[in-house]
Amino acid sequence: MRQFVDPDTGEVFYEEQILRRPDEIVKIFRPAGRSSKFVKIKASQKAKRRLRKLSLAEAGFLLKIAPYASEGTNLLEGDNERGQKGVPLTVKDLARVADCSYLQARKIVKAFIAERILRRVEIEGRTALAINPLYSLNGKAAEAFLLQLFKGEITEAGEDPNSE
């Protein structure tokens, strides 16, 4: 294992080799104390087939925005680093999170809504986006609100979003 030190920050990095199958997606989580988020990407065969249908840009976008999903409801909300904590993220905010242009983010969000990966919902007079729990779930279990929001998709898929 090789070690690197960032000359500006002094942060230590280690080089590791990761072996993976061509159809696997790897996401690295950096522990950040109590505020760290653990997002579960669905691993069933049906979910893997759904994820494989996404383009590389769409898959990258989904993985970058997933940590902003609120626990249990999957509503995309700010965390005071990107957007205000608890306030729904706009497409412009999501473009910053995903490090892409606003036009590209808008195109992917529109495609995700059409593909039923995201859904718009009104919360306290604001429009928010929620991630379908069949693709990704923040927290141990989906709340009733989220299950109701994506009820048709979950029933059609014949899956339980709370199962591994």
In a domain, 119, yes or no: yes
In a domain, 1, yes or no: no
Domain harbouring 75, CATH code: 1.10.10.10
In a domain, 86, yes or no: yes
Distances, alpha carbon 56 to alpha carbons 23, 49, 59, in Å: 11, 14, 5
Please name the residue that has the structure tokens 């990095």. 13
In a domain, 23, yes or no: no
Q: What's the pLDDT band for 116 if we cut at 50, 70, 90?
A: very high
pLDDT at 108: 96
In a domain, 17, yes or no: no
pLDDT tens track for 9-68: 777 777 777 777 777 776 665 555 445 555 666 666 777 888 889 899 999 999 899 989
Could you give the maximum distance between any two Cα atoms of the chain, in Å? 53
In a domain, 78, yes or no: yes
Element (H, E) at 119: strand 118-123
CB contact set of 5 (below 8 Å; sequence gap of 6+): 11, 12, 13
Distance (Å, rounded) from C-alpha 113 to C-alpha 120?
8
In a domain, 26, yes or no: no
In a domain, 107, yes or no: yes
CB contact set of 28 (below 8 Å; sequence gap of 6+): none
Q: Which residue has the higher pLDDT, 46 or 92?
A: 92
Domain total of the chain: 1
Domain containing 104 equals: 37-157
pLDDT at 96: 93
Distance (Å, rounded) from C-alpha 99 to C-alpha 81?
14
Is pTM beyond 0.85 here? no
Handedness of CA 100, 105, 59, 35 (dihedral sign): positive
pLDDT at 121: 92
